[in-house]
Amino acid sequence: MPAPMRYRLDISDEALEQLRALPGDLRRNIGQRLDALQKGLQGDVKKLAGQEGKYRLRVGSHRMLFTLEKGLIFVHAVKDRKDAYRD
């Protein structure tokens, strides 16, 4: 059985700032979830309705919004659930 694909990960400057503002235990949890995400898209992942190639990963009450394209996960936002889907 072949190993699952390992995705490359890129995080926007804005998402990095949002991550740095979170408490350390939540950042560690998100880091673990990102690692699992890179190993074959494991985790509570859903495609966002009506948005081509956009997904979210749920980590407690926070959402990581990302795009997926040709083996690259690009995280563009890390927000509380209540703010995650507002522009």
Domain boundaries, the chain: 8-81
The CATH homologous superfamily to which domain 8-81 belongs is: RelE-like (3.30.2310.20)
Count of helices and strands (H, E) across the chain: 3, 5
Q: Checking DSSP bridges between strand 62-69 and strand 8-11, what pairing results, if any?
A: unpaired
Read off the pTM: 0.88
Give pLDDT tens digits for 15-67: 999 999 999 999 999 999 999 999 988 899 999 998 888 999 999 999 999 99
Closest CA to 4 of 28, 50, 36, 45: 36
